[in-house]
Chains A and B, each alone.
Chain A
């Protein structure tokens, strides 16, 4: 895996780990908060339920007093139609289920509603079984107790003495409120499960009623509405005494609530967590990728520089702007590249000196050819016809210096002969480009320079040597060196030829443009020598064969089209 992606992934991993921990803490806190809220909501519901219960008890007490007054005014009651009709009016008015009037232990009259008050087990078991209640009733004080019938149905009894009775004449009114689902359903808020229990057991539960003998609160859980992740949370429960009975016991109200909000909070928390983690990861990926790219840019440059060096690009030099370890590494690389380049230049210089030693006039020629070649390349670049990299410029320079290195292998007599050469001598002379190329090739990393040297005597029209290449087949650098070499050869004195003037040489160059020389190179060279010698030559005039040459690789150049005439001016 690339170093960049390793950095990005490590960055992402740390972000994910952080998000995981923060998300977990967040969800836990959210759930705790929700749980507290659920508990508070249930407490509030419990308070409401207690108020409703208290309100109902107040109604019952009011009804009990009202009926007691009626019983006192009416005197002994008989179960005739009129009395029953009156008692039923009370039942309807106060929404009572059953009312009984006792004279001592004898029931004078009773009235009940058919829906809930008709059950036999609801009839009051007189006297109340508990001694405290019996004593309270016997002394004529109001009393409340819970009676449980044989069928398991519990009912709340409210009793008060009818005013005016004394001793055996004492009469009581007993109201009965069945503690059934209908009673509890009106008290317990919607969506909750609840129960009313005394000290020992559940008396009634909602919504399932009547409860079985062993029923506990847990058995009611199945009636709670189901929400998301319901299996994960325990239902919220709350209990509080609701009714204080006269036997000293109390009825306790128990409420259960499904943890729906907790489930919803968990879903929301997980959702937020997921989204934040994913968005954070994407952000971390983007930022990490950018940071890694910035951090690794010098390393990439070093990698590319090293690869270029390995390919023979001896002019490589990297920017050294950073002050950190990577900056030091870059500086060391540049130093190493300089060392290698200098070694090569030393070898080239040595070869040049050997050539110089072989021929007394060649040294000047070499210098001039190298200078004019570089100047011509610059003009070509300025005119926008070609673009040289630093490495190409270096190779041009090397090739220009060593273009005649093959002459080492040619006998001095032939090389310095002032008269015309015979065929054998000429054949020997013709081998020097190939020999020079072989010498340079063996130096390593200079294959391209060797190729330039090999082609430095090829003519534009294909009449050159050693391979007879033509036009674009000949490397541009070779074409430059050929023209420059020829120009210099024409303008200096040589054993076999007297030197010509610059104007004459330029004229000769123009004459040979398109034949021996590349016209484009000729024009660039003319511009160079014109500026140098101040010769009266129109620099803008040329052979008329213009071309644009673009470089797209180190290996060669590509002609595309002729520029518009206006650019030539």
Chain B
């Protein structure tokens, strides 16, 4: 009996060892986590994002991260048409402007953030940033940086910040110099000028207010600039900011409306520059309030690594990571600490953008806003696509859509 008992004990021990060994030898998590991040950022901004994501990945553990860059239109198109529900090709994380969030949530591409993440975020971010990623009480993404447009001007031509667009247009310029350039194909760029005549761009329901008569008025008031020889190309065309920057650098452009992402290039171009909130027209009833957008990290609802994605999103809001990211991408911080410590004002030109940020109007993350904003952009494209500047007679029909 004793021998039998010992044999049983040995068998039990062996079985225990087999079970423990099998469990111990099971590969952890079946396979290594691989996350794909989609962004419309490009160049150094995308590089910086990739670098920060690699750092976060290294800290979080065994995973690989792939950053895919798209054009803004390309990313929007991919998310609306090609984003699969799983497997290859799924973008686990997307870095998108906050006005896309509503649409993405409506399509089921992204989901609501867990309440614990939201609470942690509310403690650290400026209130407006959290509101900008909230649609119908659902917080949809992590806002990592803020951006708005301001007037970048040559202090040699304008000793004091221009108080109105009319003042800019009235300053005598040498031949071949354009006083001001605005991207006429982008409602985002035109928004401050439109709001100067119209007031708020958002109604109580969160819809875009975009009136043709106001737009026509803006076009006509800026016509002296875009009707100048060669001026039309400064207002439309591919990669317009590169041309505007170079023209500014060469002294052929006195001012233009652009974002903080150009700061690094402006510092490198060799010409002094200053930044101020976009001024209104002299006869405008309202201040010119630029739209304030937020770059957000949203996690795909169907991602197999959604938890990891949430962790990465939260990691990008850690002070050192966020500061590095925004410094290299020249975007504005969303962290309360950053404003309190004046870190956000560390570089030349940032102050002007921060003032624009304070005066600006943020837009909701609702789907209907994005839709109407996109439609406004499409209509502007009809005007901007023309190879030559339109005449004053053509403008009303172009703006109203009556002229192809």
Contacts and interface: CB of A to CB of B under 8 A. Distances in A.
Interface stretch (B89-97, B209-217, B245-253, B309-317): B245-253
B118 to A, nearest CB: 31
B14 A281 contact: yes
A291 B71 CA distance: 75
A260 B43 CA distance: 29
Interface residues of A, number: 51
A436 to B, nearest CB: 41
A264 interface: yes
B237 A85 contact: yes
A2 B62 CA distance: 51
B47 A209 contact: yes
Contacts of A209: 47
B46 A275 contact: no
Interface stretch (A100-108, A110-118, A166-174, A448-456): A110-118
Contacts of B10: 285
B74 interface: no
A119 B43 CA distance: 13
B18 A282 contact: yes
Interface in B217-248: 229-231, 233-234, 237-239, 241-243, 245-247
Interface stretch (B21-29, B187-195, B336-344, B377-385): B21-29
Interface stretch (B120-128, B153-161, B261-269, B354-362): B261-269
A491 to B, nearest CB: 53
B63 A225 contact: yes
A139 interface: no
B265 A275 contact: no
Main secondary structure of the interface of A (DSSP, over half): helix
A185 B50 contact: yes
A207 B62 contact: no
A91 B10 CA distance: 77
A325 to B, nearest CB: 25
Given A85-B233, A208-B51, A2 B3 contact: yes
Q: Which of A80, A112, A115 has the most CB of B within 10 A?
A: A115
Contacts of B262: 114
Nearest to B51: A207
A279 B22 CA distance: 11
A138 to B, nearest CB: 29
Given A115-B43, A119-B268, A278 B238 contact: no
A496 B34 CA distance: 115
B237 A89 contact: yes
A190 B37 CA distance: 12
Interface stretch (A58-66, A266-274, A497-505): A266-274
Given A182-B46, A190-B66, A81 B14 contact: no
Nearest to B241: A114
Contact of A190 (B64, B233, B250): B64
Main secondary structure of the interface of B (DSSP, over half): helix
A14 B359 CA distance: 83
B42 interface: yes
A114 B32 contact: no
Contact of A88 (B44, B237, B250): B237
B27 A182 contact: no
A180 to B, nearest CB: 8
Interface in A190-247: 190-191, 207-209, 222-223, 225-228
B308 to A, nearest CB: 14
B325 to A, nearest CB: 15
Interface of A: 2, 79-82, 84-85, 88-89, 91-93, 111-120, 180-182, 185, 190-191, 207-209, 222-223, 225-228, 260, 264, 267-268, 270-271, 274-275, 278-279, 281-282, 285, 289
Interface of B: 3, 7, 10-11, 14, 17-18, 21-22, 25-27, 32, 42-47, 50-51, 54, 57-58, 62-64, 66, 176, 178, 229-231, 233-234, 237-239, 241-243, 245-247, 250, 252, 262, 265, 268-270
Given A2-B3, A182-B43, 10 more contacts: A81-B247, A84-B252, A88-B242, A115-B44, A115-B45, A116-B43, A117-B242, A180-B47, A191-B64, A270-B25
* Those 7 A-B pairs whose CB atoms lie nearest each other, nearest first: A81-B230, A115-B43, A85-B233, A92-B238, A271-B25, A114-B265, A113-B242
